[in-house]
Amino acid sequence: MKTRQSNHTMTVLSFLVALLVIGVLHLIIPEEDISLDEGRSLNHFPKLIYADALTGQSAVKIEKWYNDQFPFRQSFIQAGKAWRSVAYPNLNADGLAIYLIPDEQGVPIPEPEPTEPPATEPSTGPTEPQGTDPTDPPEPTEPPLPPPLDPVDDVISTKLLLIINQRAMERYYGNEERLKTYAGKLNTLDQKLGDGVQLYSLIAPTAIELFAPDEHHSGYSSQKLCIGIVNEALDDKVISVNAYDKLLFNRDRYIYYRTDHHWTGLGAYYAYTAFCESAGLQATALEDMEHYQIEGTYLGSLYRVSKNEVLKNNPDTTEGWKPNAEYTATAWDNSEMTVTYKIRLNDERIKGSNSYLNFSGGDRALLKIETDHTIGRKILVVKDSFGNAFVPYLANHFDEVYVVDPRYYVRSINKLVADNGITDVLILNYMFGTSNATWLKGFDLIAK
């Protein structure tokens, strides 16, 4: 009996000592601002407000701080990843919330057979003007070709990634039913927005479509075909933005990162020029904006997934162009809209593994940019993370720019549009986002 009581006492004392040690470590170990592995800002101890105490938000904020600033948190994360890689070798090696394949049910993706594109598929690139005399037969012209690909010197193929010439790319395979469902969601939103608001759809292809040989993007792996399926299913009133051709015909430039799944600031710029053409705006020339470049030490999401040495030895450089506008940018991070602060677009101070966050910060509930323009147009961008590099260019034109991410914003976008006199709405997604269950669930919630 005494032995059992002694063991019980020792257990209680050990637990209390552990709590005391952890509490002391919380006080003496400096707080971290950023998690490099997770690519996000960490929560700090919140300001204690009486109103938060009444609603219970103080406890929620303190819990988030405690989780983010737990002593030796990074070491525990690394240990967990090491154990998971041994126990479950087929899982995403870095535990990142990146959908590298669109099949969220875990069904293996079949290897597509090469197929000829549909006869009705439009040609890429602009076409030459026809002769003015209707009696003269038009001279045959060859459509312009995109810049040739570099010779393939080095190929590393994994289940999730294809690495060619030191560039990592996500494998893609489309699903026609899901693509048409995505278009249907946009059509429903357009009907709810009404005649006074113009809706646009922009789908960004992934790097494999632009930089890999044809055999890696044929059939339903062709993102041109899959984007066409979405566009064909959209109602006539919804304007499709053809960013695909702008990117394809500039693929000899630094438009996508090599170690990350995103486009660069330059790639986002070419998508912006395509949007301007669709929206009746004159895109601001690159030379008319202030250019900046961040040190070339960026190792992005695809490196963090693969930990490949080839990528590690070839980090990316981040560059951007600052909009020509006086602006104030206000961010709301959480779905409760209780945490708000001012931010700086194109923030050159953000470097290293978080370089992509420099454009407009990370994914959050809401970003509002108020500019000194008075053209009478305001835009709402509903986006995934590809929108973060795109958004600053819109400050060149619109009086106000609103940006929401359906994974964090939970309020009605129809009410947001009506309450703020928004005239234009752009749905900007990258190819995998059209079937990302988390993004689409959030979109359904806020588009009601």
Which residue in 329, 337, 324, 331 sits closest to 370, CA to CA? 329
Q: What is the pLDDT of residue 97?
A: 35
Are 293 and 412 part of one and the same domain?
A: yes
Does 82 lie in the same domain as 160? no
The verdict on residue 204 lying in a domain is yes
Mean pLDDT of successive 10-residue stretches along the chain, which has 448 residues: 70 76 73 58 73 67 73 68 49 36 34 42 40 54 89 87 95 95 98 96 97 90 96 98 98 98 98 98 98 94 92 96 97 88 95 93 95 98 97 98 97 97 98 96 96
Clarify whether residues 321 and 402 are in a common domain.
yes
DSSP 325: S
Q: 99 lies in a domain?
A: no
**Contacting residues for 8 by C-beta, under 8 A, at least 6 apart:** none
CB 425 within 8 A of CB 316: no
> Is residue 12 in a domain?
no
Cα gap 256→261, rounded to integer Å: 8
Residue from 342, 300, 293 nearest 39 by CA: 300
Cα atoms in the 13 Å half-sphere on the side-chain side of 377:
15
**What is the H or E stretch that residue 28 is in?**
helix 2-28
In eight-state DSSP terms, residue 361 is -
Give the tens place of pLDDT for each residue, 101-118: 333 333 333 334 444 444
Q: Are residues 178 and 303 in the same domain?
A: yes
Point out the domain boundary residue: 36, 54, 87: 87
- 398 Cβ contact list (under 8 Å, min separation 6): 371, 373, 375, 377, 378, 379, 424
Out of 68, 87, 106, a domain closes at 87
- End-to-end Cα, the chain, rounded Å: 64
303 and 428 within one domain: yes
- Residue pair 446/219 in contact (Cβ under 8 Å)? The answer is no
CA atoms of 431 and 439, how far apart (whole Å): 12
pLDDT of residue 142: 78
User: Quick check: is 230 in a domain?
Assistant: yes
Q: Are residues 69 and 179 in the same domain?
A: no
Q: What are the phi and psi torsion angles at 250 (to 5°)?
A: -125, 25
Contact 173, 227 (CB under 8 A): no
Q: Is residue 129 part of a domain?
A: no
CA dihedral of 301, 304, 309, 310, whole degrees rounded to 10: -10
Based on the fold, state whether residues 172 and 80 are members of the same structural domain.
no
Give 292's strand partners: 320
Per-residue confidence (pLDDT) for residue 96, from 0 to 100: 34
Encode pLDDT of 33-85 as tens digits: 656 555 556 777 777 776 667 666 667 677 776 777 777 776 776 665 555 44
In a domain, 93, yes or no: no
- pTM to 2 decimals? 0.74
Number of domains in the chain: 2
Using alpha carbons, select from 320, 209, 323 the residue that is nearest to residue 266.
320
Distance CA 425, CA 199 (A): 5
Whether residue 1 lies inside any domain: the answer is no
Let me know whether 418 and 270 are in one domain. yes
Domain final residue, candidates 58, 87, 116 = 87
How many Cβ atoms from other residues are within 10 Å of residue 193's Cβ? 20
Q: What confidence score (pLDDT) does residue 2 get?
A: 63
Whether 191 and 43 map to the same domain: the answer is: no
Domain that holds residue 68: 17-87
pLDDT digits (tens, 9 = 90+) for 364-393: 999 999 999 999 999 999 999 999 999 999
Instruction: Report if residue 408 sits inside a domain.
Output: yes
Q: What does the DSSP assignment read for 231-296? A: HHHS-TTSEEP-HHHHHHTTTTSS-B-SSSSSB-HHHHHHHHHHHHHHHT--PPPGGGSEEEEEEE
Say if residue 38 is in the same domain as residue 159. Answer: no
Q: 196 CB contacts (<8 Å, ≥6 apart)?
A: 423
Are both 76 and 160 inside the same structural domain? no
Q: How far apart are CA 97 and CA 267, in angstroms?
A: 23
The answer on 418 and 334 residing in a single domain is yes
CA distance 152 to 434: 30
